[in-house]
Amino acid sequence: MSLPIPVCAACGEAAFPELFVCPSCAGTTWRYEPVEHGMLEGSTVNARDGVHVGLVRVPLGPLVVARVEGAAQAGDEVALDADGLVPVARPI
């Protein structure tokens, strides 16, 4: 399981989601690095549909907004994957 994180081919800056231009150097070419885990920095439950959503800091730097499955809490290390285009975080 892993989540592909865009990394600027020109300067190496990671961004998520992929942007039109790199915020550091304005490059427009991206490569993808697989990231298997990150730290859940915070989460909430959407009152309308009950979906648990959280912010995961990945080792490459950016925050990823992900659907949280399982009993993960802020400060927990989580595994990252994708369900189609949706990032998913699960407790390790």
Q: Which of 15, 88, 92 is nearest to 56 (CA)?
A: 88
pLDDT at 1: 85
48: left (phi over 0), alpha (psi -120 to 50) or beta: alpha
Looking at CATH, the fold of the domain delimited by 3-91 is given as OB fold (Dihydrolipoamide Acetyltransferase, E2P) (2.40.50)
pLDDT digits (tens), the chain, 92 positions: 899 999 999 999 999 999 999 999 999 999 999 999 999 999 999 999 999 999 999 999 999 999 999 999 999 999 999 999 999 999 99
What is the pTM assigned to this prediction?
A: 0.91
Q: What residue spans define the domains of the chain? A: 3-91
